[in-house]
Amino acid sequence: GAVVSQHPSWVICKSGTSVKIECRSLDFQATTMFWYRQFPKQSLMLMATSNEGSKATYEQGVEKDKFLINHASLTLSTLTVTSAHPEDSSFYICSARDPTSGNNEQFFGPGTRLTVL
């Protein structure tokens, strides 16, 4: 099946710094990618939908100025957590939709563990 990678797999940063997470579709072109956040023992919460070449669509309650999303190519979307604070510590997961898949299936990356000190 299709493969989605994320980088880095984990990151520790100081409060107030910005962190960039990359999401890549390795063997298909993804016009749409999604960013999720997951706290321990909780569900994946959709943060935003990233469309190649256009602005991301953010879910209600997600600060677009804090979580900057860029989908500059058909295989890469980035999420930048600006001025990170300890409450931003979470597991961030991206997914990509393969437009050639008849099921509108989403393929998930392995996730990035962010810890803000």
CB of 16 to another protein, least distance (A): 26
- Give the three-class secondary structure for 86: helix
Q: Enumerate binding residues for another protein (CB under 8 A).
A: 1, 4, 6, 32, 34, 41-46, 49, 91, 93, 95, 103-111, 113
The two three-digit tokens of residue 101, written as one number = 């898949």
If the CB atoms of residues 15 and 113 are measured against another protein, the closer one turns out to be 113
> CB 2 → another protein: shortest distance, Å?
10
- In the bound complex, what is the minimum distance in angstroms from residue 32's beta carbon to another protein? 8
Cβ proximity to another protein: between 7 and 108 the closer is 108
Q: How far is the CB of 44 from another protein (least distance, A)?
A: 5
Q: Are 6 and 108 in contact (CB under 8 A)?
A: no
Residue 43 or 54: which CB sits closer to another protein? 43
Q: What is the DSSP string of 29-51?
A: --SEEEEEEE-TTS-EEEEEEEE
**Among 19, 1, 9, CA closest to 83:** 19
Q: How far apart (Å, rounded) are the C-alpha atoms in residues 28 and 40?
A: 31
